[in-house]
Amino acid sequence: MNTSKNIEKIIFKFFDNQASLSELEILLLWIGNEKNYAEYVEYISINHLTNIALNLADKEKIINEINLKINSDKKALNKKSKFKYLALASVAICFFSIGTYLHLTSANNEILKPIDPAKITLTNSNGDVIDLEELNDNQSKITNNISVDQNAKTIYFKNDTISDKLVFNTIRVPYAKVFNIELSDGTKVYLNSGTTLRFPVNFIEGLDREVFIDGEAFFEVTKNHISKFKVSSNNTSAHVYGTKFNFKDYPEDDFSEVILAEGSLGVGKLSDDNILIIKPGEKAKMVFSSGKIERSRVNTLLYTSWIDGRVAFRNESLPRMIQKLERIYNVVIINNNKDLKEKYFTATILYKEESINDVLSYLSQIYGLEYQIINNKILIE
């Protein structure tokens, strides 16, 4: 493959909807050449970049896709230029009318209404359960060092209080939703669907910064040379000094895995002091049945792209794929086809744009998967 690094970057940006107008025009010009198009097809095949919408696309459809994006960007650019000053005024109005942050103050012992289990919730140290998706004036009076940005789906914990006692909060993210949190030390945590995170409201100086997780999250840990950061689950712990990594340990899985994107990190059993140090681009997989940790080189993007709304299946068994789809879309999938248990699937879905029907339709076309929907359940036949 002779694809230049510049073209590679543009292709990546194109699939992530991040390519600029000039980059799209370069890609359009380049892909018009038959030899270049052959390289393009080979490249996306090797790197598994295609999503469902483009898995079936031929050259003409891809060129049309790029042209549509170019035209859309040009219109947006013209509109932005035309209404420059109006936009500035609108931003000021929106800032006050929407309320970018909801500041939360101490609880006033009011009775909270029952919380929908399909909602993202915060349980504080008093046992109060707060719906983070629909905070109103009364519910927002929780504590004075928390704020929520509903637009960014992020909750922030400000380190403006000093305490010598650990006080824990718990966030639960149901299936079909994701949520972000910034801890009091500035560490950013991206929570995947079906995940629970238990964490201190404020960390105590001199003690390890430890959080507890069931599910999957991507961490951007703030460096601290005095205290290390530790992520613990039922079976696995990760020891961190300032890095970016993905931690996955769902209760229903028979393994956990840690994928290191940047920095340095050690992985071990929860009840063992022996730590395996992994490097960026490596995965540590804890197999519960054997108690062993398997280390391997991986493409980290395949494991962390869910943050940007992309989930990759690479030679995925049907049971594993069903588990992921149930978490992503909050559906129940029942497999009645025993022959499919030995089959493996490869696809990339953009779950923020593609519905479960889109996914099933694709699997039906490519893999001959037969299904029907009965009483909100998906039956694979």
> What is the maximum span of the chain, computed from C-alpha positions, in angstroms?
70
Q: Give CA separation, 345 vs 11, 208, 315, 317, 342, in Å.
A: 23, 41, 5, 6, 10
Contacts of 313 (CB under 8 A, 6+ apart): 321, 324, 345, 346, 347, 348, 349
User: Are 290 and 300 contacting, i.e. CB atoms less than 8 angstroms apart?
Assistant: no
Separation CA 294–CA 119 (nearest Å): 36
Rg of the chain in Å (alpha carbons): 23
Separation CA 351–CA 86 (nearest Å): 34
H or E element, residue 246: strand 244-249
DSSP state of 33: S
Both tokens of 316, joined, read 């995925």
H or E element, residue 93: helix 84-94
Separation CA 148–CA 155 (nearest Å): 4
Domain boundaries, the chain: 5-96, 101-302, 309-380
Both tokens of 376, joined, read 């909100």
- What is the predicted pLDDT for the residue at 234? 87
Helix (H, G, I), strand (E, B) or coil at 48: coil
- What is the predicted pLDDT for the residue at 183? 92
- Kindly report the CATH number that applies to the domain delimited by 309-380: 3.55.50.30
- What is the predicted pLDDT for the residue at 267? 94
Both tokens of 255, joined, read 């393994």
Question: For each successive 10 residues of the chain (381 residues), what is the average pLDDT?
Answer: 69 70 82 78 57 55 69 57 41 37 35 66 86 60 60 69 78 93 92 95 87 96 87 92 91 92 90 86 93 92 90 88 92 86 85 90 87 87 84
Angle (CA) 203-205-208 rounded to 5° is 65
Detail the DSSP E strand segments found in 106-208.
121-123, 129-131, 146-149, 154-157, 168-173, 179-182, 188-191, 195-200
- Kindly report the CATH number that applies to the domain delimited by 101-302: 2.60.120.1440
